[in-house]
Structure 1
Amino acid sequence: MEAREEDDFLFESTAFDCGDAAWVDLVRDSLDEKVLYDGCTITDLDSVALLMAFYIENKATKRLMEDVLHLIRKHMPKSAVLPNHLKSTYHLRKLFLHGKKEKIHQHNICHFCCKLLSETDVGVCATCEKPIKKNPRFFVTIDIASQLNELYKDPSFRKNLTYRETRKKPNNDVISDIYDGSLYKENLGPGGFLNDESNLSMVWHTDGALVSKSSNVSIWPVQAVINELPPRMRFTKERTILFGLWFGKDKPLLSTFLMPIIDVWNDLQTKGVVVKSGSTRKTVRIKILAGTMDLPAMSMVKEIKQFNSFYGCGICEERGVRLKKGKGSVQAYPYCPEPVFDDLYCVCFVLGGRG
């Protein structure tokens, strides 16, 4: 694989550092802030995201980014207050890399077949046998150990991991949280994975979102929440674990994107991560219990037809029909007393096999 140019201002190698306070927030937040100047249609964060998209899509060097910022500044009204990220590549790089540093791993993929490229692939993709372009496409995964250790520094985080035992449930017959489900109870029982109080569980999620209304570039994060935290803390961005990020004009090939992430999930479950909890160090193992996403993303993960196709049900193999409704139509499934169930219904997202 050919090396990137030496003046590459953001990514310096296939294992580089990136701060979570700005770059990861860019993924998690809605990108809503003040506009660049009165009458402008994009916000400050839209601008940052678009520059990030330009950088990734064009494998831009420091010199090119300096020229781009100079061109943007020339088009700004004289009355506009120039945001820091447009002043220089120094400020833009500082925005991406400030604060606590976490190791980011770059995974190069083939332009033609979208399969992972290895270090042994020299000149030609081992999968499709087509030539590897000088600047291959890529996605990134984020180191989990550093994220977990950062969380365990917070006494409030450690204290609230006992929420499962301390929560008040008015009615035992009501399912009010994931703890009341059969899968969680199975893992919590004698000999179960969560019977060890050091172990945790997660639910993962992925979906795509355009970085701005004026761009066709989208962000696809793979992230997860820690089930043992109370809901008020569980779903906050500060305590959400970010596993990976796909950034580009095309939707990700999830069988490629998830491959290194699934390896991380398996290691988390079998080997765990050593964290500093207060004054002691311990090994925390984590099990991915479930995944949640909308139907289009689910069809991509399971590699099945979308919900509006004739065979769009993710549970059975019955063929649907199109029915007129108003000016359009809807997909419907006639009642069948003995449907044929899809054996991929219980897809195991952790092991990538069949349940």
Structure 2
Amino acid sequence: MDPLLLLARVRAWASELGFSQIGVAGIDLASAEAGLQAWLDNGFHGEMDYMAAHGLKRARPAELVPGTVSVITARMDYLPRTTPEGWQAIEFARQAQAGEGIVSLYARGRDYHKVLRGRLQKLQARIAEAVGPFGHRVFTDSAPVLEAELASRSGQGWRGKHTLVLSREAGSMFFLGEIYVDLALPPTEPVSGHCGSCQACIDVCPTQAIVAPLRLDARRCISYVTIEHPGAIDEELRPLMGNRIYGCDDCQLICPWNKYARRSELPDFDAREGLAGESLARLFAWSEEEFLRRTEGGPIRRIGHARWLRNIAVALGNALAAMPRTDPRRAPLLAALAERAEHADTLVREHVQWALER
């Protein structure tokens, strides 16, 4: 099949599967290797040891999947279907509700790994029906892939100063996935950057994790701290976390381009009960059984119950610190912490004690 015709059909099939945009990147990412190595050398990956273990393989698609000639990139928007106008201001306002727990928007629904992987596999099956068997491998943030680099090279957008991919038509509230293929497809054109002199994402970061444009120190990023980091949270960072208990959206909420962020048509990304607008005390009271039940099929389950309690304990401590001692709202927060003061897990106990001392 003519490569241009095949690409047009891939785009049509992808649209039927809920994807918003398809691009194609080549496999020569040599120019990205120096930046990747410098990021690793600075230790900005923190305890994500797999980043260093794979090293420069991330920038060498043909080493990861021998025979790869092209990379199909796919974008899927994830704002819930019922997201209201002015959603950015609404999300920022949640931070002023000290007794409320904030879960990052992307994590309130079904695990995006499951959604994207299943639909990318259906897409590659459609391609196989058209061209016959071909070499391929599907990725959804699941292997050493320079995802944002491939996305920007294939025209999905440009790298914002917060390192995320930005689109003039869709902001940054989207997931990315890839299919490495042994088919020679025509690369799609990259787009120019449109951040200009704006550095709102750098200025708004609660922990100043964006140390320079396009340079993120993951060790200070609240998303890393609440999700990837397995141990005790640095006491310097705890007060800066506010009531964010899983991830952080601040650099995206402040971005002017996200006024163009698109709602998903898929129910998969609708917020589950208890993950938007719920009180910290109620979330902290979840037993492990309830935690597993409520997070089944979602991304939050991967951190486990102990880390979930660790994160909420920090938020409870911050809420207490923000309230006058005579505020009646303090009582349920203190009671919730007292219930966990003798928790079997030392990680939980330490953070509960810190919160009580706040």
TM-score (norm 1): 0.26
Q: Larger % of strand: which?
A: 1
Larger Rg: 1
Structure with the larger RCO, 1 or 2 (CA within 8 Å, 6+ apart): 2
Greater helix fraction, Structure 1 or Structure 2: 2
TM value normalised by structure 2: 0.26
